[in-house]
A and B are shown apart, each in its own frame.
Chain A
């Protein structure tokens, strides 16, 4: 489904952040990526999505056999990739619901489907908002405008639910969430997840993985995946940190 091979990327001053990432994600899998601050976790999602601040120096990223790196940012999204950043951007003046509808219909245009009308979209939106226990305040405001950290994360999962991506890359979705919000967001992700889809979670803590069971856990350090394992690896990391891991 998603295949990342030898991905290397740098920032404008030439500093290489990703130094050869390899990751294979199959349908139905949940991958958790953990690692110390500054190891390249957030960069990975942005590079895959096509953020202009990064230059890809080498490697291939394929989604269902198509190289995402050859595509425009919007084409990557419309091909089935969704990324949620650690700090979702505020866009004052762009209404949240209008933005969601525009995004959904852009995807439908890309896929050759007719645009969704107001009534159908309203129904879809209400259903997903209910799932995430979101109230009407989200409708009238600008995208993430004045939202608390937790509200922003919930709004990200709402977008994920509406856009229905094949692969979702969620960067520290659990940060800024209180206990109840964490449960709601995690339940939302589990609800959206299906055997045809995959999720990559970037997290620092086991607590998110208590709700969303990972198939694999990876440790990213110094721009490379240095260790992979099952769910038990996350428990060990929570207990012992990263210092015991030897880099090859």
Chain B
């Protein structure tokens, strides 16, 4: 099902106007080159001219469905403001499904409901981009006992600016495995809001950035543990060459009364270029005692002893370097269950 909604688009644009262009001193945007944004968001509202289609299809989507009034992230608002066609799909309870997601325009908006006990694997492909920006929004509701793996690993379009925003709500005993490989040359921002609303919900995030040139990737995660016995894992690894840059802004919020929460965050970076850099900002807001929350961050170069060992066996230095990069990257995805995501991610790694 695909339709436009003028009222929704106008509300989103109004919200963007009210928020104004983000500034670097805004915590959510502190790592992002915000000077790139004005040309996109200050353009005339794309909502103009969509009234007919909205009326024709009798759209019933309300602003409240996407929390527009409270939304603070322009990346989340842009697809709606630009009247991205909404792709809405319910995955039936108890069913097992695999799918590919590809937006057919610069802006995309997908709304998924993973019904009770369904098992779903979704690969996000690059959207068809005609201009210098892409923004996609995903609203995903994962019902009780459902399992979702969502991943993207294809070399993205060489875009100057790319946003992907995910709003994920998880019910009890649901599991989400979210994995990605970032390796394109543009500026990208992935923002992920996760609400672990039901007891036993589990969110697992694994991200690899293999960047060079002036590529710049920004990941912002906010994981809210709103129920007891919920688990979240964040594991990111970065291989950064030349002048590339990664920022990782990971927040974990554990609500009052949420016992036995387990949350971990680990970011490992290898700087291959003299001018490459990484910024990592863990934020833990914990309002309950009986929880286990960890965070860690390492940054260094390729291991000199490992390089020596490989080359001392006759392997040329460039090949040895690639072997070590791949081994560093592979450890991220090896723990994933065998399935489409693991297969695809390891396949992409092999071709790096």
Q: Which residues of A contact B (CB under 8 A)?
A: 49-53, 72-74, 76-78, 83, 85, 88-89, 91-94, 99, 102-103, 106-107, 110, 142-143, 159, 163
B324 touches A94 (CB 8 A): yes
Also in contact, A142 and B327, with CB within 8 A (given A78-B314, A103-B313, A106-B315)? yes
Closest B residue to A83 using CB positions: B312
B310 touches A72 (CB 8 A): no
Could you tell me the distance between the alpha carbons of A41 and B334 in the complex, rounded to whole angstroms?
A: 40
Instruction: Quote the shortest CB–CB distance from A98 to chain B (angstroms).
Output: 9
Q: Which residues of B contact A (CB under 8 A)?
A: 303-306, 308-317, 319-320, 323-324, 326-328, 330-331, 334
Which residues of chain A come closer than 8 Å to B309, judged between CB atoms? 85, 88-89, 91, 143
Could you tell me the distance between the alpha carbons of A51 and B334 in the complex, rounded to whole angstroms?
A: 32
B327 touches A94 (CB 8 A): yes
Also in contact, A91 and B315, with CB within 8 A (given A51-B308, A52-B304)? no
Instruction: Quote the shortest CB–CB distance from A152 to chain B (angstroms).
Output: 11
Also in contact, A73 and B308, with CB within 8 A (given A78-B314, A103-B314)? yes
Instruction: Quote the shortest CB–CB distance from B337 to chain A (angstroms).
Output: 18
B311 touches A163 (CB 8 A): no
B308 touches A91 (CB 8 A): no
Could you tell me the distance between the alpha carbons of A49 and B305 in the complex, rounded to whole angstroms?
A: 13
Could you tell me the distance between the alpha carbons of A200 and B10 in the complex, rounded to whole angstroms?
A: 79
Also in contact, A94 and B314, with CB within 8 A (given A52-B304, A73-B308)? no
B317 touches A74 (CB 8 A): yes
Q: List 18 A-B residue pairs with CB atoms under 8 Å apart, sorted by A's residue number.
A: A51-B308, A72-B317, A73-B308, A74-B311, A74-B317, A74-B320, A77-B311, A83-B312, A89-B303, A91-B327, A93-B330, A99-B313, A106-B313, A106-B314, A110-B314, A143-B309, A159-B313, A163-B314
Could you tell me the distance between the alpha carbons of A106 and B322 in the complex, rounded to whole angstroms?
A: 14
A52 touches B308 (CB 8 A): yes
Known A53-B304, A94-B310; 19 more pairs at CB < 8 Å: A50-B312, A52-B304, A73-B311, A74-B317, A74-B320, A77-B312, A88-B309, A92-B331, A93-B326, A93-B327, A93-B330, A94-B326, A99-B310, A102-B319, A103-B313, A103-B314, A106-B319, A143-B309, A163-B313
Also in contact, A89 and B306, with CB within 8 A (given A94-B323, A102-B323, A142-B327)? yes
